[in-house]
Structure 1
Amino acid sequence: MPHAKPRLIVIDTDPGIDDAIGILLALASPEFDIAGITTVAGNIGIETTTLNAGRLLAFAGRGDIPVFQGAAAPLSRPGPEPLNLHGEDGIGGVALPAPTRGRESRHALEWLAEFLLARPEGSVEVLALGPLTNLARLVLERPDAAKRIGRIIAMGGAIHERGNVGPRAEFNLWADPEAAAAVVASDVPLALIPLDVTRRVRATREFVEALSASGGPLAAMVARLIQSYFESETNRESRPLHDPCVMLCALAPELFRIEELRLTVDTGAGDDAGALTIDGSGSPVHVALGVDGPAALDLLARRLMRN
């Protein structure tokens, strides 16, 4: 039986330790044909997130994949302070080579619009690992191109879980609530992977040791990235792998329990900025609310260990 044709994807990202793990998982997955990486400020500033994307591609020997620098700040409010959790370089001080290819001269928005318009409608998926600023600008400034996206799968939000930057707010949506609101309210098919799920896909120290012992270069790199999480926080026996859940859901949706909810995004100035609310007048979004955590981790490990 012939193999299915790889799915054409764009990764929109702010690397970021867990972004880096998600990117390496995508690179290890033959189901994906990665057309390009677009970067956004989030975990750390835009120059560093763009550099980190190029460094990850250089490590994986994939300098053929172009990197396009995107939004340096949210749509209409000041950008967040860098997360100390990811270190000064955004990837926990883990050594990576310099990019083998410079970032592209075109802005991410310009490239993404042109790319979508040149492909059959619905044939491109976007895997979004950071604030949704680039995608919101596409929706608002180039709706002709945005409507051609087959689906966005984004890590973001909290439904029944407590937030990680406020009582109800998760970092990616909190970093640019107006962008999140624009993407949620658009007609582009959207699947959200919130904290309700990502906190249940947890890497233990034993998991890290197994990756290190496997001998594979991608597995060893991911082990070092996760280990940097443990080194930054004492007395932690596991760490949630937020952004890789986007790739895992795209690869194996059967591991996730997905429901359609009608959602709105809080765009106020208070502690709930970026928070999601289930609202009958909101926009329909597919939301992952459950996951087989051990099976998701097993899939991650198997993909990394064979490369």
Structure 2
Amino acid sequence: MTPAKPRLTIIDTDPGIDDAIGILLALISPTFTIAGITTVAGNIGIESTTRNAGRLLAFSDRGDIPVFQGAAAPISRAGPEPLNLHGEDGIGGVALPDPTRLPESQPAVEWLADFLLDQPAGSVDVLALGPLTNLARLALERPEAAGRIGRIIAMGGAIHEHGNVGPRSEFNLWADPEAAAVVVASGMPLILIPLDVTRRVRATREFVETLSASEKPMAVMVASLIESYFEAQTNRESRPLHDPCVMLYALAPELFRIEELRLIVDTGNGEMAGALTIDPKGSPVQVALGVDGPGALDRLAETLSAVG
């Protein structure tokens, strides 16, 4: 069987420990050709998320991939406070080299538009790991370019699960509800990976030990990142590996159960900000509602350990 041609891909991200794991997975997988990384404020401020993207590329010896700094704040409200669980540097204090290449001077949304208009329509995927501010601005400011995206696979939201920043709100959508509402209603092909799925993908300490024992540099680095993602030394399972589920869906969609739901995003200012509601008047979105958690971890380990 002829291997599938690598898919031209942009990663929009706010690294972030789990973002870092997803980015490293994408960098090592032959399934993706990473055209660029665009950054957004979210887990931590924009300067740190942009620097962390460069650090991950430096570790991976991928200085050929450009980084474009994106939105420093939501579309129309104050930005969230940095999440303590990612540490002061946003990446759990795990040792990474300094960036070998400065971020590009062109703003992220401008580059996204130019790049999409330069490629065949439908040929570029976006893997979205943070608040959807950059993609919303693209849809609002450059709709002719946004309409050329092949698909957006985004980590965000909660359907039947309790939220992680409110009763029904998940962090990425809560951080910029207006942006989430724009993207959901935009007509851009959207596959949403919510808490309903990501909470079923958690690493055990045995899994971390197996990655470390492989002695493959990428696997060992991911093991270190996951190790920093345990809530306490006594925990046997890590926090959910939210963002790597985006890459895992792109790699192995058969591990996920997808349903089309019509969704509305709450753009109020209360505790329901960013919450998703299923409504006949909502916009159609492909939503992952089930996952083979052990199978996802197996695919993560196999991919990370396949290359020296």
Q: For this structure pair, what is the TM-score category when the shorter chain's length is used for normalisation?
A: over 0.9
Report whether the alignment pairs 1:9 with 2:38.
Answer: no
* Aligned match of 2:138: 138
Q: Match of 2:54? A: 54
Distance 1:31 1:216 in 2: 19
**What TM-score, normalized by structure 1, do the two folds share?**
0.98
* Alpha-carbon distance in structure 1 between the residues aligned to 2:38 and 2:232: 30
Q: Which amino acid aligns with 1:122?
A: G
| 2:263 corresponds to 1:263 | yes
Q: Where does 1:140-179 land on structure 2 (aligned, <5 Å)?
A: 140-179=140-179
**Distance across 1 between alignment mates of 2:80 and 2:236:** 28
Q: In the alignment, what sits opposite 2:102? A: 102
Query: What is the CA distance between 1:188 and its match in structure 2?
Result: 0.3
TM-aligned CA deviation for residue 236 of structure 1: 2.4
1:251 aligned partner? 251
Distance 1:303 1:65 in 2: 20
Shift of 1:260: 0.1
Letter in 2 for 1:233: A
Read off the aligned partner of 2:43 and give its amino acid letter: N
- Counterpart of 1:154, as a letter, is A
Runs (4+) off by over 3 Å: 232-235
Q: How far apart in 2 are the matches of 1:106 and 1:147?
A: 21
For 2:163, the aligned partner's letter is: G
State yes or no: 1:237 paired with 2:236: yes
Instruction: Give, in whole Å, the separation in 2 of the partners of 1:252 and 1:5.
Output: 15
Q: CA deviation at 1:238?
A: 1.0
Alpha-carbon distance in structure 1 between the residues aligned to 2:232 and 2:174: 23
1-structure distance, mates of 2:35, 2:187: 23
Alignment of 1:118-137 (within 5 A): 118-137=118-137
Q: For residues 42-101 of structure 1, give each alpha carbon's deviation from its aligned partner in whole angstroms, at most 9, with x where no partner exists.
A: 000000000000000000111100000000000000000000000000000000001111
Hey, what's the Cα distance between the residues in 1 that align with 2:292 and 2:244?
14
Between the two proteins, the alignment pairs up a number of residues equal to 306
Give CA deviations for 1:168-206 in whole Å, capped at 9, x if unaligned.
000000000000000000010000000000000111111
Q: How does 1:73-112 map to 2 (within 5 A)?
A: 73-112=73-112
Q: Secondary structure at the match of 1:294?
A: helix
Offset at residue 234 of structure 1 (A): 5.0
Q: How far is 1:233 from its partner?
A: 3.5
- Give distance in 1, aligned partners of 2:40 and 2:86: 16
**1:29 Cα deviation (Å)?**
0.7
Task: Give the AA of the match of 1:269.
Answer: N
How big is the shift at 1:4? 2.1
Shift in Å at residue 2 of structure 1? 3.3
Stretches of structure 1 that go unaligned for 5 or more consecutive residues are none
User: What does 1:192-207 correspond to in 2, within 5 Å?
Assistant: 192-207=192-207
Q: Deviations over 1:119-147 (max 9, x none)?
A: 01000000000000000000011001000
Q: Write the distance in 1 (CA, Å) between the matches of 2:235 and 2:45.
A: 27
Residues 263-282 of structure 1 correspond to what in structure 2 (within 5 A)? Answer: 263-282=263-282
Asked if residue 69 in structure 1 is aligned to residue 69 in structure 2, the reply is: yes
Match of 1:190 in 2: 190
Matched to 1:257, the amino acid is R
Separation in structure 1 between the aligned mates of residue 209 and residue 232 of structure 2, nearest angstrom: 18
Tell me the distance in 1 between the aligned counterparts of 2:50 and 2:74. 16
Q: CA deviation at 1:306?
A: 1.7
Q: Tell me the equivalent position of 2:289.
A: 289
User: RMSD over aligned Cα, in angstroms?
Assistant: 0.8
* AA at the equivalent of 1:103: P
Amino acid at match of 2:14: D
1:56 maps to a residue whose letter is L
3-state SS of paired residue (1:258): strand
